[in-house]
Structure 1
Amino acid sequence: TEMPMSQEPFFIIAFGYVKKAAAMANKELGTIPADVADALIWACDQLIDGKYREQFVTDWLQGGAGTSTNMNCNEVICNL
């Protein structure tokens, strides 16, 4: 579509909620250390609040499993 994810704010917000839920669940299960989970949760909250959208550069609509979109989101979260 030649339209980066940054132009679809609700898509990024939804990704933030999904990644936040995963971090919270993994924290509760003890799968990841609490400090790591808290950092991920904070980063997800930043996305949910509308920050760092310009960092989402991949096309939001693509074929396959959406691997590039997921990797782009993971990179943004991990670098905050």
Structure 2
Amino acid sequence: MSPPIPPQQQFLSDAPLGTRVVVRYRIEDGLTDALGELVGRGDGDCTVRTRRSDVVIPLALVVAAKEVPPAPPRRNPKHP
């Protein structure tokens, strides 16, 4: 019998593509977050489209993940 899938990995496996998520995962020096749209899933990883780029995250490194509300609309820049 295989070990149970951690809830954060299960969430990322089950969430519909296009869901806005925040994913906390391990990196060499600690932890980091990716905030954006879940745009892909592969064998053992997921892809989150952030403002800067697509981030491929190995599911084994994920320590937390959840759905977040849509981003607020951008405000117009203030003019001096």
TM range (shorter): under 0.3
Structure with the higher helix share, 1 or 2: 1
Query: Could you say which structure has the higher strand fraction?
Result: 2
Bigger Rg, structure 1 or 2 = 2
TM-score normalised by length of structure 1 = 0.27
Please give the TM-score of this superposition, normalised by the length of structure 2: 0.27
